[in-house]
């Protein structure tokens, strides 16, 4: 029995999320359906990182085990069978003990905002025409690297053992259409990034002070956090693995 990693990218607009669900179409469900059609047998997939309904990914991973013959040329067939909103970018063998989720060293996300109405960005970026103090937002953002407990930025009814996250990067960057939020961490909580973006924008608009920002982080109370940030601006941009699990060549 061999184990394989699958690298995928997708537009999450039409899906109920990444992980398979019984009541809606998901990224995992679509890929599993294609594999079952092609191989004429069910092949369960294990995902590396869940994304919510409407969230996109430039890079995400599955792993699966099989005795079937797996070849790179099959990528063409899989992609021809998949919806245009999902692409399999790569597929390669890994050690039998490799795990797409648990072996990930870090995950990175980008949240895109555009400042002028643009129909070509609809559903892929958040139209945000309001003036913000980016310097003030960056000061608040820099403080994220000094905190480890992000319970305030976790939505309710989340089954996790810890709210500890080790954020290694957090910044706001200019783009051709506006600006974007970039963040990397060993793990993220449910709703965390959208909560961070929404609350940091409140800092930028002067709706909350820096002092209040720190109070919110320390409060361990999600009621103070703005989770209304829409899903369509959020992208899982990269998952980092140890070198021995990366495809070379």
Residue 51 and residue 192: Cα distance in Å, rounded? 11
Domain final residue pick, 78, 103, 128: 103
Q: Is the domain of 157 the same as that of 215?
A: yes
pLDDT band at 246; cut points 50, 70, 90: confident
Q: Is the domain of 154 the same as that of 92?
A: no
| Domain hosting residue 164, numbered range | 106-237
- Tens-place pLDDT, residues 92-141: 999 999 999 999 999 999 999 999 999 999 999 999 999 999 999 999 99
pLDDT score, position 249? 47
Q: Is the domain of 125 the same as that of 192?
A: yes
Residue 245 lies in a domain: no
Contacts of 147 (CB under 8 A, 6+ apart): 167, 217, 218
Residue 118 and residue 113: Cα distance in Å, rounded? 11
Q: Is the domain of 231 the same as that of 133?
A: yes
Residue 47 lies in a domain: yes
Token pair in block for residue 226: 């703005």
Residue 124 lies in a domain: yes
Residue 19 and residue 2: Cα distance in Å, rounded? 23
The CATH number given to whatever domain includes residue 188 is 3.30.70.660
Phi and psi at 183, nearest 5°, equal -150, 140
pLDDT score, position 23? 86
Q: Is the domain of 115 the same as that of 98?
A: no
- Tens-place pLDDT, residues 172-223: 999 999 999 999 999 999 999 999 999 999 999 999 999 999 999 999 999 9
Smallest Cα–Cα separation from 179: which of 144, 130, 106? 130
Number of domains, the chain = 2
Average pLDDT, the chain: 95
Q: Is the domain of 50 the same as that of 118?
A: no
Q: Is the domain of 43 the same as that of 147?
A: no
| Residues annotated as catalytic (active site), given as ranges | 52
Residue 37 lies in a domain: yes
Q: Is the domain of 37 the same as that of 119?
A: no
Q: What percent of the chain stands above pLDDT 90?
A: 91
Residue 246 lies in a domain: no
Phi and psi at 228, nearest 5°, equal -80, -5
Q: Is the domain of 51 the same as that of 137?
A: no
pLDDT band at 157; cut points 50, 70, 90: confident
pLDDT score, position 248? 56
Q: What percent of the chain stands above pLDDT 70?
A: 99
pLDDT band at 244; cut points 50, 70, 90: confident
Residue 146 and residue 42: Cα distance in Å, rounded? 45
Q: Is the domain of 55 the same as that of 175?
A: no
Q: Is the domain of 11 the same as that of 99?
A: yes
User: What pTM did the predictor assign?
Assistant: 0.94
Domain final residue pick, 103, 136, 170: 103
Domain final residue pick, 103, 133, 153: 103
Residue 145 lies in a domain: yes
pLDDT band at 161; cut points 50, 70, 90: confident
Q: Nearest 5 degrees, angle CA 121-CA 122-CA 126? A: 85
Smallest Cα–Cα separation from 87: which of 101, 76, 102, 73? 76
Strands 56-66 and 46-47: antiparallel
Contacts of 70 (CB under 8 A, 6+ apart): 2, 4, 91, 93
Q: Is the domain of 84 the same as that of 114?
A: no
The CATH number given to whatever domain includes residue 8 is 3.30.70.580
């Amino acid at each position: 029995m061999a184990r394989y990693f699958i690298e995928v990218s997708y537009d999450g607009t039409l899906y109920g999320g990444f992980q398979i669900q019984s009541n809606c179409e998901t990224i995992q469900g679509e890929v599993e359906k294609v594999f079952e059609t092609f191989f004429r047998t069910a092949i369960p997939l294990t995902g590396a990182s869940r994304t919510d309904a409407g969230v996109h990914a430039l890079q995400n991973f599955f792993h699966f085990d099989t005795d079937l013959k797996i070849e790179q040329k099959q990528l063409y067939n899989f992609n021809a069978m998949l919806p245009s909103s999902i692409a399999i970018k790569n597929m390669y063998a890994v050690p039998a003990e490799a795990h797409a989720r648990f072996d990930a060293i870090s995950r990175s996300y980008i949240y895109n905002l555009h400042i002028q109405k643009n129909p070509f960005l609809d559903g892929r970026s958040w139209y945000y025409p309001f003036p913000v103090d980016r310097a003030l937002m960056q000061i608040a953002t820099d403080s994220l690297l000094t905190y480890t407990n992000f319970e305030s930025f976790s939505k309710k009814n989340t089954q996790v053992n810890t709210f500890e996250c080790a954020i290694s990067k957090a910044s706001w960057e200019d783009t051709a259409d506006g600006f974007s939020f970039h963040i990397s961490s060993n793990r993220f909580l449910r709703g965390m990034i959208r909560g961070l973006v929404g609350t940091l924008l409140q800092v930028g608009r002067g709706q909350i002070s820096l002092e209040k920002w720190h109070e919110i982080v320390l409060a361990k109370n999600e009621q103070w956090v703005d989770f209304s940030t829409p899903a369509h601006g959020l992208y899982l941009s990269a998952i980092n693995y140890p070198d021995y699990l990366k495809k070379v060549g």
